[in-house]
Amino acid sequence: KQEVTQIPAALSVPEGENLVLNCSFTDSAIYNLQWFRQDPGKGLTSLLLIQSSQREQTSGRLNASLDKSSGRSTLYIAASQPGDSATYLCAAPGSYNTDKLIFGTGTRLQVFP
């Protein structure tokens, strides 16, 4: 059974810092992994999707890596800004043959000026 864990649960940093958010999953037979952002009271916004054949995916100041063998993914945020304040969630498929995503509980990020 797939389980997804995110560390840390919360993070508060000054503007400009580079950040690393961690995600681990128990079933490495996944075909992709997704990172999302959620603002309070809103739905989730897709940030990055990494296919199992990829090791990294980049979008602007965001970079996500995937290491299936160790069951880990990392989201790197460069030069953080107050507008990055949100909850970041990672999600992995429940198994290789399902589209059901299993979510972690998220990392709540606050970037202060």
Partner 1 sequence: DTGVSQNPRHKITKRGQNVTFRCDPISEHNRLYWYRQTLGQGPEFLTYFQNEAQLEKSRLLSDRFSAERPKGSFSTLEIQRTEQGDSAMYLCASSNRGSPLHFGNGTRLTVT
- Binding residues for partner 1, rule: CB under 8 A, are 4, 31-32, 34, 36, 41-46, 49, 51, 89, 91, 94, 98-106
DSSP result, 25-58: ES----SEEEEEEE-TTS-EEEEEEEETT-SEEE
* In the complex, least distance from residue 16 CB atom to partner 1, rounded to whole angstroms: 28
Rounded to whole angstroms, the Cα distance separating 78 from 52 reads 24
Nearer to partner 1, 12 or 18 (CB): 12
Of 17 and 73, the one with the shorter C-beta distance to partner 1 is: 73
26/46 with CB nearer partner 1: 46
Q: Least distance from C-beta 50 to partner 1, angstroms? A: 11
Of 4 and 19, which CB lies nearer to partner 1 in the complex structure?
A: 4
CA dihedral 103, 73, 83, 46 (to 10 degrees): -50
DSSP label at 94?
S
Tell the smallest beta-carbon distance from residue 53 to partner 1 (Å): 11
C-alpha span between 113 and 109 (Å, rounded): 13
